[in-house]
A and B are shown apart, each in its own frame.
Chain A
Amino acid sequence: EAEVAQSPRYKITEKSQAVAFWCDPISGHATLYWYRQILGQGPELLVQFQDESVVDDSQLPKDRFSAERLKGVDSTLKIQPAELGDSAMYLCASSLSSGGAKTQYFGPGTRLLVL
């Protein structure tokens, strides 16, 4: 069964350092999403890609966060510099198309701890 892949699974870093997370969506899924999930809360969307283009990054803290999906397949989310409040689970999801009746499928996530 096809799955969304993410790495690393766990990351510990010190504040002010740079971190990067990688996501490989299910093959053929044109839409890719990055979510942040703070402990005890539901996921919140950070950025959405349709192929290589950003569709929605309204909730992405652009002063320190960046995301790219250069070839419209895998994607990288970067934080520079990391802050203590960035400690969270970062989830990647993908879906077949944009809009309409579709379902997002999630990867295993990257747990980030900023010290």
Chain B
Amino acid sequence: AQKVTQAQTEISVVEKEDVTLDCVYETRDTTYYLFWYKQPPSGELVFLIRRNSFDEQNEISGRYSWNFQKSTSSFNFTITASQVVDSAVYFCALSATGDDMRFGAGTRLTVKP
């Protein structure tokens, strides 16, 4: 069975601080995909990144970076120099096919000015 755990329910930081959102997953599949989505107060889920299980290279996109470690079944997300606009709920998700997305419970990030 697939499972995604986001142990941090809520995180609060002050603007310009770095923050890391944790994601731990469980799966028996040898091929799978990991995702991060952002859900701002307006409600839509905004796609941030997709990573397949064969690609363990870390990725950086502007202030965002992702650390995929298969050995610990983790796919953590770091925001550098956080901004108020980063305030949202962030979801980590797992899928074997791209269809059957299993989402974590989400981490609510609040960035205070």
Q: Which residues of A does B touch, CB under 8 Å?
A: 31, 33, 40-45, 48, 55-56, 89, 91, 93, 95, 98-109, 111
Q: In B1-20, which residues have CB < 8 Å from any A CB?
A: 4
Query: A101 touching B98 by the CB < 8 A rule?
Result: yes
Residues of A within 8 A of B101 (CB): 43, 45, 104
Task: Report the minimal beta-carbon distance from A115 to chain B, rounded to whole angstroms.
Answer: 20
**Tally of B interface residues using CB under 8 Å:** 23
Flag if A106 contacts B98 (CB, 8 Å): no
B44 and A107: CB pair below 8 A? yes
Q: Which of A48, A105, A106, A109 contacts B99 (CB 8 A)?
A: A48
CB contact between B44 and one of A33, A42, A106 (< 8 Å): that residue: A106
Q: How many whole Å from A42's CB to the nearest CB in chain B?
A: 3
Q: List 11 A-B contacts (CB under 8 A).
A: A31-B99, A43-B101, A56-B99, A98-B98, A100-B97, A101-B33, A101-B52, A103-B50, A104-B47, A108-B42, A111-B43
